[in-house]
Amino acid sequence: MANYLYHGKLAAKTGQAEKLTDILVEASKLVMKVKGCRLYVVSRTPAEPEAIFVTEIWDSQEDHDNSLKLQDVQGLIKKAFPILDGMPARGQELEIIGGLPA
């Protein structure tokens, strides 16, 4: 069973939320093929139009951390950085209690 869940929020500069969403959806397609990735979901809420949320589930924190070192992932991070409204806040590392298939 997966044992690392990370939930984060990224804020785009005004008018850049769609572009940031596109980058993160591209990231989801990439990392879903990476060892240990069980889920990578990009979401939004109408209450915060410039905020994009990412929820990730991994077999381990090490698998998650290793995914950030991949060249293609680094390229997407560099592409997203200029349209972020400040540094991303530290996300939440959550304990998975249940609900995932074995």
Q: How far apart are CA 11 and CA 85, in angstroms?
A: 5
Q: Helix H segments across 1-102?
A: 17-31, 61-67, 71-80
**What local confidence, expressed as pLDDT, does residue 87 receive?**
85
The first and second tokens of residue 91, run together, are: 């996300």
Beta-ladder partners of 53: 9, 43
**What local confidence, expressed as pLDDT, does residue 88 receive?**
82
Question: What architecture does CATH give domain 4-88?
Answer: 2-Layer Sandwich (3.30)
pTM surpassing 0.75? Answer: yes
In degrees and rounded to multiples of 5, residue 80 shows phi and psi of -80, -35
Task: Show pLDDT as tens, one digit a residue, over the chain (102 residues).
Answer: 568 999 999 999 999 999 999 999 999 999 999 999 999 999 999 999 999 999 999 999 999 999 999 999 999 999 999 999 988 878 999 988 888 776
**What local confidence, expressed as pLDDT, does residue 1 receive?**
59
Domains of the chain, by residue range, sit at 4-88
